[in-house]
Amino acid sequence: MRFDVLTLFPEIFSGYLTQSLLKLAIDRGLTSVHLHNIRDWAEGKHKQVDDKPFGGGPGMLLMAGPVVEAVEAVQAAADAPPGRLLLMSPQGRRLDQSLAEELSTSNRLVLLCGRYEGFDQRVVDLLRPEEISIGDYVLNGGEVAAMTIIDSVVRLVPGVLGDETSNQEDSFSRAGRTLEYAQYTRPREYRGLSVPDVLLSGNHPEIAAWREADAARRTAARLRAMDSGLQDSAGEPRPKPEA
Ligand code: ADE
């Protein structure tokens, strides 16, 4: 699976791509991430990429020219198909686990990151990207959203997690799309809190039943918390905010 990222700040990605799971996936040839600086397609001595909006208003917009030409050049690269073009935008379709699963079946994703107040509308009109949002809040740019997409998609690529079953137990990937059950490791007791006996019993059907029940309880608690805003994810009441 190949990712291409178009951004004005490719350096933002360097720490993220050189650590942990992403580094391993890249080193093992399971994925590749190609960074492209949109400014390389800007013209003139100053390599200008942004300008004031016509009609007035705050901030600066990314100009259509450098962005459209950058995307066209990257998608036309001879060694890969054009792929799916995703534009990072708070106005886009919300990323969730089913969208991550759908994206993971693609062999190339081209991710376009904005900055400033957004893009000249002709970027969208000419390139017809799929606009994707990672949530209802406004980020300073699309880079964190692009990293979120890469992160959620790459772990679904076969071979990346090593143990092929482990993402099937993730929250939202589980059958029924429930949250994941609670897990414990050593020590058996920490600050007076013990690991539930059933998990130490060696009885696998009972362990599986306990986990299903815990996952269902957490999911129901989350749904109630979303209604009331007053519980934590384990269903415990939250302390009342100080007056
Ligand atoms: N760019 C700015 N805010 C964003 C968001 N919430 N999701 C995706 N891209 C963005």
Q: What is the pLDDT along the chain (243 residues), one digit of tens a residue?
A: 999 999 999 999 999 999 999 999 999 999 999 999 999 999 999 999 999 999 999 999 999 999 999 999 999 987 889 999 999 999 999 999 999 999 999 999 999 999 888 999 999 999 999 999 999 999 999 999 999 999 999 999 999 998 766 788 888 887 778 899 999 999 999 999 999 999 999 999 999 999 999 999 999 999 999 888 665 555 566 665 555
Contacts of residue 143, defined as CB under 8 A and 6 or more positions apart, other chains included, come to 7, 9, 12, 13, 88, 113
pTM of the predicted model, to two decimals?
0.88
Going along the chain, which residue ranges are E strands?
Answer: 2-7, 32-37, 50-51, 61-62, 84-94, 108-112, 130-133, 189-190, 193-194
Residue nearest to atom 5 of ligand 1 (CA): 90
Domains in the chain, CATH or no CATH each: 2-154 (3.40.1280.10), 174-228 (1.10.1270.20)
Residue nearest to atom 4 of ligand 1 (CA): 90
- 54 pocket-lining for ligand 1 (C-beta < 6 Å): no
**Structure tokens that stand for 89 in this block:** 């935008």
Instruction: Establish how many alpha carbons lie within 13 A of residue 50's alpha carbon, considering only the half-sphere containing its beta carbon.
Output: 14
How many angstroms is it from 142 CA to the middle of ligand 1? 5
**pLDDT of res. 227:** 86
Active site (catalytic) residues? 90, 117, 155, 170
Rg of the chain (C-alpha set): 22
- 135 pocket-lining for ligand 1 (C-beta < 6 Å): yes
